[in-house]
Amino acid sequence: MNIACWSGPRNLSTAMMYAFGARADCAVWDEPFYAAYLAETGLDHPMGDRIIAEGETDPLQVGQGCAAQPPEGKAHIYQKHMTQHMVWGLDQPWMDGLKHIFLIRHPARVLASYAAKREDPTLEDIGFVQQAEIYDLIRARTGAGVIVDSYDIRQAPEQMLRKLCAAIDLPFDPAMLSWPAGGHPSDGVWASHWYAAVHASTGFAGAEGALPTLPPALQSVCDAAMPYYERLKADALVLEGDA
């Protein structure tokens, strides 16, 4: 099974990759299109030159890899995709036949975390518009696509991972609830800049607290992202007790 998980940055996406990577039957691929995205857009990202130098910059080659058989004799591969990376149009043939997960997070939490690592994030940077577009495309083409909120995963990791696995017809594995500290061998080269917190972890962090207060510039971005988050949230898996 090839699994594409679509999120924006700072969405619990690396911890989710580690959870699937803790399964003995699952390989993982960290942000397959990152190098191609930077090469195409010319955006200034931390470690950008190294990401381009060490990654695949041809999006057609990356897409073919996403649809290929899982490597290393594994039965499954979990692909951690950033929605904002898809700048070549969304009608990508490699998407057919994959299982698609959409990992969402309240934009106030995303922006507070992202701005600590990269200044002045825009709506384009955090991927909410693109995530909704990809979800609509997958629903139209396949009738499938599963949405899960990172807040709910942190509230009840086992319950939500069981629900998620059932929704994509993948048996739940308790190994998904923990992983070794220090990172994963499949981390992208950018891990040293972005992954410090998850490298120190051995499992999902505890429940999140109140929403952060944002400065005016970030609040305006949050306000623009909220309609997309709320629309996806309406279709998300439900944490028991919150229905």
Tokens of 155: 């509230």
DSSP 8-class letter at 200: T
Reference 35, options 82, 74, 76, 93; nearest CA is 82
pLDDT given at position 61: 95
Give the 3-state secondary structure of residue 8.
coil
Question: 3-class SS at 211?
Answer: coil
Q: Please tell me the predicted confidence (pLDDT) of residue 9.
A: 86
- Kindly give the confidence (pLDDT) of every residue in the chain, 243 residues in length, as a single tens digit, with 9 standing for 90 and above: 999 999 988 889 999 999 999 999 999 999 999 999 999 999 999 899 999 999 999 999 999 999 999 998 999 999 999 998 998 877 788 898 899 999 999 999 999 988 887 778 899 889 899 999 999 999 998 888 999 999 999 999 999 999 999 999 999 999 999 999 999 999 999 999 889 888 999 999 999 999 999 999 999 999 999 999 999 999 999 987 654
For residue 242, the model assigns a pLDDT of: 58
List residues bridging with 211 in a β-sheet: none
Q: What is the per-residue pLDDT for 10?
A: 84
Q: How far apart are CA 26 and CA 74, in angstroms?
A: 6
2-233 — its CATH code?
A: 3.40.50.300
pLDDT of residue 133: 94
CA distance 133 to 173: 31
The domain segmentation of the chain, as residue ranges, is 2-233
Torsion 126-109-78-118 (CA) sign:
positive
